[in-house]
Structure 1
């Protein structure tokens, strides 16, 4: 008999993150995840006290990888315009080698009021808007204008994510997406 791989809390977290992308918070269910991982519920309870702890771990993983790690990656760019372009390009999926968390974000929207989902969505949204506002501020826009432009950039991302999800053929891709990102940055940074 083949020996089963010993699962870790990380294995469960990654599986829950994938489930979030596929079906939102409701898709993070212990029995289906155990089946997906080829194990029993006992493995789950070895690592987590309950479903809410797993959902929270998956949400924190999304927050870290799709906000904090993206910001760290973008900060490596040489100047503010390059950082602004990079953050929008990553968010819109221009870098196909780096999957986006837009699927998770869209899947979470119907449960935005869930007691575990709501604070993470609020924290992620505010962190992203604050970061974008700082970038526009570095370009010389006054605080109120910088915040307004950050809202325009963020809602462009959300709209693009929805368009890509609902009608992928209508969303720009490849070279058209690169031109779209450049046009969006041009519009957002014009006086």
Structure 2
């Protein structure tokens, strides 16, 4: 049997439905209803297209699910790793780089992260991917602390506190507005770094929040 690779261009007769339309709807469905609801036929019905449109872009449902996981990694994990690895004049600036992920859901989507973690309860393969992503994120944050002079154990523990606190924040579904949270920014920075942030440090991050 000859396998035809899925296409990136819109399928003939369905020019208004792209590969990203399928992925985007699947992501929305995963977040709102869980992985069991991500099915080809219901998605096609919502998009107003036939199954042939789906198979123009994807080889199978599993192919689509793999694309959802790839998107999650390329957004949520990549954002944390990239910002933790940015050059920074001080550890306070480094931590604020990571804080950008918590302040802007275009960088890190907590609903998607939670949906993937729920999916992992039903799939050992996804569980392993979650564990790998958590390790990747933690290593990036630990290395950030190490670059700023913290010893191995201190960097490791500070990375865990910073990262696990934020993930727990999402899991508990706390409804604190960003504005209320950043009002305590200086105290958070003291807690995560052991250093005193300057007024200029705080103002720098507040400008980022205001520009979101």
Category of TM-score, reference length = shorter chain: 0.7 to 0.9
The one of 16, 19, 31 equivalent to 1:21 is 31
Distance 2:159 2:145 in 1: 7
The count of aligned residue pairs is: 181
- Residue of structure 2 equivalent to 1:106: 114
Higher relative contact order (CA 8 A, sep 6+): 1
Q: Does the residue aligned with 2:183 lie in a helix, a strand or coil? A: helix
Quote the residue 2:150 is aligned against: 141
Question: Against the structure 1 CA distance between its residues 78 and 151, is the aligned structure 2 distance closer, same or farther, given a 3 Å change threshold?
Answer: closer
What's the CA shift for 1:41?
Answer: 1.9
Q: How much is the aligned-residue C-alpha RMSD, in angstroms?
A: 2.4
8 Å CA contact retained: 1:63, 1:120: no
Larger radius of gyration: 2
Which structure dedicates a bigger proportion of its chain to helix?
Answer: 1
- The answer on whether the counterparts of 2:145 and 2:155 sit within 8 Å (CA) in structure 1 is yes
> What is the distance in 1 between the residues matched to 2:33 and 2:17?
23
TM-score in terms of structure 2 length: 0.73
User: Which range is displaced more, 36-45 or 151-160?
Assistant: 36-45
1:81 pairs, out of 62, 81, 92, with: 92
Residue of structure 1 in register with 2:160 after alignment: 151
TM-score normalised per structure 1: 0.80
Paired residues of 1:22 and 1:104 also in contact (CA < 8 A): no
- The aligned counterpart of 1:46 is 56
**Structure 1 unmatched runs, 5+:** none
SS of 2:49's partner is coil
8 Å contact from structure 1 (residues 149, 188) kept in 2: yes
